[in-house]
A and B are shown apart, each in its own frame.
Chain A
Amino acid sequence: MLTIEHIKEILNDYTVNLRFHARGGQGGVTASNLCVEAFYGYGVCQPKFGAERMGSPTESYVRLSANADLVRSNEQVYGPHFVSVLDPSLLTEVDVTAGIPRGGWLIVNTEMDQLTIQDAVKRKDINIATIDATRIALDILGRNITNTIILGALIRVSHLFTLEELSDAIMKRFKGEVAGKNIQAIKQAIEETCIYDMGIDPDFTVDSKVPWQQVSLGLPGYKDLDKAGVWYCDEDVIPVGSDQVNTGSWGEWEILWDEETCTNCAQCWFICPDFATLRKLGDDGKYHMSGIDVFHCKACQNCLNICPVQAISKRLKQGPAACAAPEEGGN
C-alpha cells in the first residue's frame, strides 16, 4: 500500500496520472475536476476529446504534481496510475486497464468481488479496490450519482488528497444539503472500500507511455490511402464511422418487437435514425421485418411511438443501469 509520505515525495518530482471511466451523464468529468480542485499542488484535467452523449462511454484524465512545470504539459495521459470505473458494465465494453503500469490501481463501483474483476480485465499485476457506490448513492443521495463517492475509494488507496481537502472542493461546487450529503457519502465510501492489494506499488519514476503510441501503428499509412479523404464502402479501409460504435449500450431500455402483431408497414424502418430496424427480402419478393439490431439501437423509442399496431414495446434493461439521470447543470 502507498503511504502518505511516499506519495508526497513522488509528487515533488513526478506526475501522478488518473483516468475515470463513466457513461455520459454520470459525472466522470465532474469527478476529475474535483480531483484537480482538491489537490494541493498543480493539476490539469482533460476529457477525452470528442463528442459525448448521454449514456455513451466517456473517459477523462487527470495529471497531478507538486512541480508546476511537469503539469504544464498538454499531452494526453497515457499511463494512468489510478483508474476509476463508475459503471461496472464498462469493464467488458471498454479496455479499462489500457496503459496501467504494473502495480497500478483499478477502482471499480461494483458489488462483484475482486477475483471476478481480475478475471474480467485479465490483469494479475494490478491492485484492485471495489466500492458499492451505487448502494451508498441510493441510500444517502437518493439517486444513482456515484462520481463523488468513488473519490472516497480513491482517497483510501492513493492519499493524493485528504477528506478535508475534498470536502472544501465539494463545498465550493455544491451548495448546502447536497454538499453535506455528498461528504457524508464519501466518508462512508472511505470506510467501505474493499482493497485487494497484490503487494506491488506502481513505479511512478518510469514513463509508461509506449513510444509513438499516439501515431496508432497498425492503421493504414499515407501510402496505403491512395485516395485521401475518399473511401468506398466495399474497401473497408478505415475502421471508423458510426457503424462501429456500440450505441446499443447507451440506453436504459430494451426495445422488443412482436412478429405476430407486425404488419410490415415499415414506418419504423423509415423513422429509425440508426438503421437498427432489420428487414429481410422474403420469398414473395417483398421485404419483411426481421428484428432489432441491438448493437446499434439506443432506445430512442421513435419506432415505438410511430408503430400503428403496437408491435413494438420496451422494457428496462436487466443488470446495472446503463445510464444515470443527468446531473444538475449538465456537463
Chain B
Amino acid sequence: MSVEPMKLFFKEIKEPIETAMIGNYAVAGGVTQTDPDVICAFPITPQTQSVEGLSDVVHQGRLKAAFVNVESELAAISYSTAACAAGARTFTATASQGYLLMSEALPMAVGWRVPLTMMISARAFNAPNLSIWNSWEFVITDYGWNCIVSENVQETYDAAILSVMMSDNSLFPTMFVHDGFIISHSVQKLWLIPDEVVRKLTPRIPRHTITTERPGVWGGIVTPGFFMEGRMGLDIAKKSVLDVMKNSFAEFGKATGRHYKLIETYNLDNSSKTAFITMGSMCGNIISWMTKNKDIGLIKIRAYRPFPYEELQKIVQEHNIEKLIIFEKSDALNNLLPPFSTSIATALYPLKTLFRCFIVGLGGRDVTRDEFSVAKKKMESVNDMKGQLYMYLGVRETKDKIHGVNI
C-alpha cells in the first residue's frame, strides 16, 4: 500500500506542478527531491507523515536511500549525526519530547560541523499536561543549529530544499520548523519544483568525512588546554552563516521565483509606527487580519537561528518603528522574557524601541483576530519599559473571565 499524495514523487518531476497536500507530505516530497542517502527518524505526532512518506518512496524504489528504523529519538539523532559525518546526506525529523530526548546528541552535530537536516513539527512539551498540539518547543533550547521557520505548506516544502543548501554550504546542521497540526496537517496549495532544478540547487560538495584512508578521532577527549579553542572556532565559523543563508535564499529565488528573506516585512510604513513581530503560522493570521486593519505592520522572522540581529535593527531604524508587539508561542517561567522575545529584546537594546511580549497559542489554542486587536489596543497605552514585559493572552482566569481582557 502506498501513501496517495506521495505518488507525485514516484517519478521524475519535469516541470513545476501545482498541487495541494499537507505540510508533512510536502516535506517528505521535498526531501525526496534532495536525494538523501540516509533517513533515520523515530515517529512522533505531529511529525509522523513526513517519515511515513519517505518510507514509501524508499519502498517503491524511487529513492535509493538507507531507511533506518531505530528505537528512540536519541538513537535517531546519534545515527544520523554519525551517518552524516561519514559523508551521507542525512535527514531526520522529530517534535516535542522527541526533541528533548535528542538533546544529548544535538550539540555534537554542531561540533562535528556535519550538514545534517532535521524537520520539526512544533509541539508542546508535556507539562503540566500531555498535549500533542502546537507550541514552540524548539526555541527553549539552543545548541547552535541553524533554524528556519515556515509560515505555510509552500514555505515548509521550500525549506526542506533550502535547509540542505544551507547545511551543505555552512557545514552546520539545519532544522526547519513548521507549526504542528496547523501546518503539518493542513492541506494547502503549493508549487513543486522540478527535480532537475533541485539537483542543481543541491549539488554534492566535497567535505571532511570519516574515511578508512585517513583515520582520525571524532569527538575525542581533550584537556582544558584545548577545549576553549574548539568552542571559539565554532563561534567564528558561525559568523558567516547568515550570509550563507542569504545566498541560499537568493539562489533559490532565482531558480524558482519564490524570493525569501531572513526577515520579511509587511506594511511597516504605517500611521501608528507599530508592528507585530512573530514567526510561523501566526504570520498568516496577522496578514489576513491586516487586510482590514491597515494602520499596523508585521515583521516576520524566517531565519530564527542564527538570529539576524543587525538585519532587525536596520529594519526598525529605517522604518522608524516605535513600538513592537511580540507574539510568542512559548513562555518564560524563570526569565524576564520568553526565548524568542529575549532575542528580539537583545537586538533592540541599543535602539530604545518599546515592546511588549504576548504569550499566545500554547498547546494548540487558536490565535485569532481577538488576540490581535486586544494586543494592539494594549500597546497604544504603553509608554515605557517598566513592569512585567510579557502577558498571557487568551487564557481563562475563571469560568467566565479571560485574563487581562474585559468582555
The finding on whether chains A and B are genuine partners in a shared complex, rather than unrelated, reads yes
Please list the residues of chain A having a beta carbon within 8 angstroms of any beta carbon in chain B: 29, 32-33, 36-37, 42-47, 49-51, 67, 69-76, 172-173, 207, 209, 211-212, 214-224, 228-230, 328-330
Judging by beta carbons under 8 Å apart, are A330 and B1 in contact? Answer: yes
Q: Closest residue to B288 on the A side, CB-wise? A: A73
Say yes or no: A36-B370 contact (C-beta < 8 A), given A72-B152, A73-B288, A219-B396: no
Residues of B within 8 A of A76 (CB): 366
Q: A329: which of B4, B127, B290, B398 is its contact (CB, 8 Å)?
A: B4
B191 within 8 A of A: no
Residues of B within 8 A of A222 (CB): 395-397, 403
**Chain B: interface size category:** 35 or more
Q: Closest residue to A76 on the B side, CB-wise? A: B366
**Assembly CA distance A46 to B182 (angstroms):** 8
Judging by beta carbons under 8 Å apart, are B366 and A229 in contact? Answer: no
Judging by beta carbons under 8 Å apart, are B366 and A33 in contact? Answer: no
Q: Which of B30-38, B94-102, B277-285, B303-311 contacts A (4 or more CB under 8 A)?
A: B277-285
**Assembly CA distance A44 to B395 (angstroms):** 27
Return 21 A-B CB contacts under 8 Å, by A number: A33-B187, A36-B20, A37-B19, A44-B188, A46-B185, A46-B186, A47-B186, A73-B289, A74-B186, A74-B284, A75-B366, A75-B368, A76-B366, A211-B370, A211-B407, A212-B407, A221-B396, A223-B397, A223-B398, A224-B398, A329-B1
Judging by beta carbons under 8 Å apart, are B187 and A44 in contact? Answer: yes
Q: A74: which of B187, B282, B396, B398 is its contact (CB, 8 Å)?
A: B282
Judging by beta carbons under 8 Å apart, are A221 and B185 in contact? Answer: no
Q: B187: which of A45, A72, A209, A223 is its contact (CB, 8 Å)?
A: A45
Judging by beta carbons under 8 Å apart, are B399 and A221 in contact? Answer: yes
Mostly helix, strand, loop or mixed at chain B's interface? loop
Judging by beta carbons under 8 Å apart, are A221 and B4 in contact? Answer: no
**Assembly CA distance A228 to B362 (angstroms):** 15
- Residues of B143-193 contacting chain A, CB below 8 A: 152, 179, 181-183, 185-189
B402 within 8 A of A: yes
B400 within 8 A of A: yes
Judging by beta carbons under 8 Å apart, are B187 and A32 in contact? Answer: yes
B291 within 8 A of A: yes
CB distance from B24 to the nearest CB of A (A): 12
B2 within 8 A of A: yes
Number of A-B contacts (CB under 8 A): 132
**Assembly CA distance A36 to B284 (angstroms):** 18
**Assembly CA distance A173 to B405 (angstroms):** 47
**Assembly CA distance A224 to B400 (angstroms):** 11
Q: B186: which of A45, A215, A220, A221 is its contact (CB, 8 Å)?
A: A45
**Assembly CA distance A37 to B189 (angstroms):** 8
Residues of A within 8 A of B394 (CB): 212, 214-215
Residues of B within 8 A of A329 (CB): 1-4
Residues of B within 8 A of A47 (CB): 185-186
Residues of A within 8 A of B365 (CB): 214-215
**Assembly CA distance A328 to B183 (angstroms):** 24
CB distance from B229 to the nearest CB of A (A): 45
CB distance from A269 to the nearest CB of B (A): 28
Residues of B within 8 A of A330 (CB): 1, 3-4
Residues of A within 8 A of B132 (CB): 50-51
B129 within 8 A of A: yes
Q: A36: which of B129, B187, B282, B400 is its contact (CB, 8 Å)?
A: B187
Judging by beta carbons under 8 Å apart, are B128 and A228 in contact? Answer: yes
CB distance from B164 to the nearest CB of A (A): 26
**Assembly CA distance A75 to B132 (angstroms):** 18
**Assembly CA distance A231 to B288 (angstroms):** 39
Judging by beta carbons under 8 Å apart, are B370 and A74 in contact? Answer: no
Say yes or no: A75-B367 contact (C-beta < 8 A), given A47-B185, A219-B396: yes
CB distance from A22 to the nearest CB of B (A): 15
Residues of B within 8 A of A42 (CB): 189
